[in-house]
Structure 1
Amino acid sequence: MGTLSLWIFGILFISLPAAYGLTSFPKNVVAAMKDDPNPVTLTCDVESGVPVEWKFTSNGGEMEKMDWDSAQQVGANLNVSEVDEPMVGEYSCWSGGKKFSSTYLLLRVPEEEVEDADSDSAIRCWARSYNCNFNCSWTLGKYTAVRLGLGQDCIEGNKSCDWVSSSDGGFQFELSHTLSPYAEESTMFEVTAEAINDQDFLKMTKRFYLRDIIQPDSPEIVRCQEVGEELNVTIDPPSSWSTPHSFFSLEHEIEYVYKDNGKTESSPAPVIPKRISKLRVRTRDSLVRSAWSQWSPWKNVLTGKKKLCKCKNTAKYCCPELLPEDMGHCKRKQGGKTKSKPN
C-alpha cells in the first residue's frame, strides 16, 4: 500500500462554522485523537473493486497537490494517522468524476480536558411529568451543532442510535422514553451528547433517574374562598402533570403578602390569613420531593361583596366562586354605568 497523493482544496480560514456549514451534523463523522499513531479508517460507499480517488477540503491555503505520508489508501478506504489541525476537514471519495461519499474528520476532545464543565453542567435535563418525554439543553457555547441520544446504542455510536437534533437552533431538545410512569425505576437513563464545530468533536454521557429531574409546571390558583377570618385557597395541578392526580400527588407552597404591613410569608397549607393583598403558588412531587416548579404569577386577592364584580378577571384576581345572583348583580351594575349614546 503506497502513500496517497491527495488533492488539497483550500478555502479561506474563518473562525465561524460557515467554513464547512457545520451547523448540523454531517452524515458521516469520524473523530481522532490528536497525533495518535493508530489510524482511523474513512470508508468509501462504493461497490467492491471500483477504483476511487480521495479528495480533501480543509481550512487555509490554496489548491495544491501534495504527498501525505499519514494518509494511506487501502482498497477503497482511507487510513489516516497522527491527525493534527491541518488534517481536519472533509474527505470525499470519487470515481469517474462522481462523488460517492464523504466523511468529516475532526479532533476528539477528551471530556476531562473541557475547562470548567462536565456532563452534569453541560447537559441540563428536566421533566414536567412522568409521561413519555423529557427536555434537555446544551450549555457549552463553543460548539455549533449538537445532537442527543438515549441509550447504549448512542453511547457506543451505533448507527441504530436515534439521534435528536435541536429544532430551533437554541440547543433545546425533547427526548422520548418508554418507561412506564407506574413502574418503580431500577435503571438510570443515559443521555449522550455529541457536539462539533469546524475542528473539534466532543462526546459526553449524563446518567440519571427520571425522578431526579422532575420539575412540574406552575400550578393554577382557582379561587380564594372566605372562611371566617381565613381564606381557603383552591389550587389546580398544572395541565401537563401526570394523571390520575390521586396517584401522582403534589404538594403546594403558597406565598402571600399582608395588606397592613407588606410582610411576606408562606404556607404549605391551603388555609391562610384573609387580610392579604396578593398571593402566588408553586408545587412539587410530594413523594420524591422533586424540584419546585416556578412560581405562578401573582394574583390580587379580593374579599367582600363590594369587590366581587372584579372577579370576572380570574387571571388577575383570586376571589370566591361567583354565585348566579352575584353574576346578575354585576351585570345590572355594569348596565347602570353604561351611558346612552346621543341620537
Structure 2
Amino acid sequence: MKLFVFTMVCVFLQVSHQNPTGHWTLLPHILVVEAPWDQMPLRCLEQPAELLRKDAKIEDIFWRKDGNEEEQKGNTYMLEESLVGGNFTCHSKDGSLLNHTVVLIQDNETNRRKDENLNCSATNYNGEFLCSWPKLTGLGGKVAFIKARRVSDNYETQCSVDKSGRRWTCSSGQSNFICSVDKKKKRKRKISCRDEQHCPFTEESQHIYITVYVWRKYFYLDNYSKRFLLSEIVKPDKVEISKVNNTTIQWSYPSSWSSPYSYFPLSFEIAQLRRGCERCKDLCGDIKSTETLTFNSSDVCQFRVTQRRTKVVCVRAKDALCDSPWSKWSHIRDAGTFP
C-alpha cells in the first residue's frame, strides 16, 4: 500500500509555534483542535488525483468516525464542534483505508487553577525530579506527549518517544531531558525526568519548563505545565532517627541527599511532644502550636531532649541555603525513658 500522509503531519511537536488558527499536530496522525471553534476541514489525501486509481472518483471517498460510517463524502471532511473528537478514517469505494487521523479536543482555558498544574519535587541536586498531575474522576487518561526544556534555551527543542510509548527524550543545543512514565497502574499520573546536562555544583541560571499532555476519555486533551529551578522544588527524604541514650537522639543526612554535605548543607527542625498517641498514623502531623528548634549541621546530628515528660521527638530537614520545602517528619518514641 502506498504511503498517505496527512497534510499537517510533522515528526516533532513544536509547542512554541502552534498554529494560530487553533489546531496543531501533536504526533503523526494526531491532530489537536482548540475549543471553541466553528468548522475546520479535515483532508483525506493531499494529492488525490495522483494517489487514487484511474477508475476511482473523489466523490466515492467515504468517512468513518470511530468505525461508524458518516454521511459526508469526498476528499474533505468538515469538522464541527458539535461532533467532538474521535478517530476519523477515510476509505475508497471498495473500503480500503486511505488515511486516518485522531482528533483531540483541547479547551482553551487561560484561567487554570493553581492546583490543576503539575506538582514537581526532587530529593537532591543530581538533576532528577518527579512530577504528577490531578486525577479527574471518570475521565482516566494516558500521557500523550511530554516536552521539557530550559526556558532561556535559544535552540529549538525536539521531543520524541520510543516504541514503548513510555520514554521521552527532549533535546536541544543546551539541554537534554529524559522522562519516563510510571509503569505502575496506581501511579500512572506520575513521570520521572532527568536533565542529563545538569551540573549539581553550578548555580542554576535557567528555569526548567515542562509540559505534560494527557489524553483523556472522549478524546479530550489536557495539558499541565510547571516552571521551576531545582532549588525551588528540592525536598529531602525523611531522616532516620536513633536513640543514643536515655536523653539523647541522633540522626544522619538522608542517603539520597547530594554530597559533600558541607557543600549541600541541611537545616533541621526538632519538635518535642508530650503526647504519644498509640493509634495515630501521623504523630507529627499537628505541631503548629508546639515549640520547635532549628539548627544546621553538616555531619551526624545529635540532640539532647530537654523537655520533661517528652513522649515523641520529631525531626525534619530542608536545604539550608534555599527557600525550598521541608521533608516529611520523622519521629522516635520515648519508650518511657525520656526524662
Alpha-carbon distance, 1:32 to partner: 1.2
1:129 and 1:151 map into 2 onto residues whose CA distance is 19
Shift of 1:216: 1.0
Equivalences for residues 193-204 of structure 1 within 5 A: 193-197=212-216, 198-204=218-224
Q: Residues 148 and 297 from structure 1, CA distance in 2 versus in 1: closer, same or farther, beyond 3 angstroms? A: farther
Mean Cα displacement is larger for which, 32-41 or 86-95?
32-41
- Would you say 1:222 and 2:223 are equivalent positions? no
Question: 1:279 matched to which residue of 2?
Answer: 313
Alignment of 1:136-151 (within 5 A): 136-141=131-136, 142-146=139-143, 147-151=145-149
- Indicate if the aligned counterparts of 2:123 and 2:236 stay in contact, CA closer than 8 A: yes
1:32 aligns with 33
Task: Output the CA distance in 1 between the equivalents of 2:202 and 2:49.
Answer: 50
> Aligned in 2, Cα 1:83/1:180: closer, same or farther, shift over 3 Å?
farther
Q: Which moved more, 1:216-225 or 1:181-190?
A: 216-225
Counterpart for residue 4 of structure 2: none
Alignment of 1:49-60 (within 5 A): 49-51=50-52, 53=61, 55-58=63-66
Could you tell me whether the CA contact under 8 Å between 2:269 and 2:294 is conserved in 1? yes
Per the alignment, in what secondary structure is the counterpart of residue 215 of structure 1?
coil
Note if 1:168 corresponds to 2:184.
yes
Q: Which residue of 1 aligns with 2:173?
A: none
Deviation at 1:168, TM superposition (A): 2.5
Percent of matched pairs sharing the same residue: 23
Match of 1:289 among 323, 330, 337: 323
1:303 Cα deviation after fit: 4.7
Quick one: distance in 1 between partners of 2:199 and 2:85? Answer: 44
In the alignment, what sits opposite 1:181?
200
1:244 Cα offset (Å)? 1.6
| Superposed CA offset, 1:171-212 (max 9, x none) | 121111132111111111111021222132223432111111
Instruction: Give the 5 Å matches for 1:1-343.
Output: 28-34=29-35, 36=37, 39=40, 49-51=50-52, 53=61, 55-58=63-66, 63-67=68-72, 73=75, 83-86=80-83, 88-94=85-91, 99=97, 102-112=100-110, 114=112, 117-118=113-114, 121-141=116-136, 142-146=139-143, 147-151=145-149, 160=160, 162=169, 164-169=180-185, 170-178=188-196, 179-197=198-216, 198-225=218-245, 231-258=247-274, 265-269=291-295, 270-273=303-306, 275=308, 276-300=310-334, 303=337
Aligned to 1:20: none
* TM-score normalized with structure 2 length: 0.62
Work out the CA distance in 1 between the residues paired with 2:150 and 2:47.
Answer: 29
Distance 2:252 2:64 in 1: 61
CA contact (8 A) 1:215 1:292 kept: yes
What does residue 331 of structure 1 align with?
A: none
Amino acid at match of 1:214: V
**Is the Cα–Cα contact under 8 Å of residues 32 and 83 in structure 1 kept in the other structure?**
no
CA distance in 2, matches of 1:157, 1:247: 32
- Structure 1 stretches lacking a partner, 5+ long: 1-24, 305-343
> Normalising by structure 1, what TM-score?
0.62
Q: Is the 8 A contact 1:45 1:101 kept in 2?
A: no
- AA aligned opposite 2:244: C
CA distance in 1, matches of 2:331, 2:226: 33
Q: Secondary structure at the match of 1:212?
A: helix
Following superposition, the deviation at residue 128 of structure 1 comes to: 1.1
Moved more, 49-58 or 292-301: 49-58
Structure (1/2) with the larger helix percentage: 1
Where does residue 4 of structure 1 map in the other structure?
A: none
**For 1:272-326, what per-residue CA distance to the aligned partner results, in whole angstroms no more than 9, with x for missing partners?**
317433312111111103211111143335659xxxxxxxxxxxxxxxxxxxxxx
Q: SS of 2:110's equivalent?
A: helix
**Closer, same or farther: CA 140–274 of 1 in aligned 2, 3 Å:** closer
After superposition, give the CA deviation of every residue in 1:100-121 in whole Å (9 maximum; x if it has no partner): 753210222113265xx24x64
Aligned-residue RMSD, C-alpha: 3.9
Code of the aligned partner of 1:150: A
Q: Which letter maps to 1:248?
A: F
| Residue type of the alignment partner of 2:292 | S
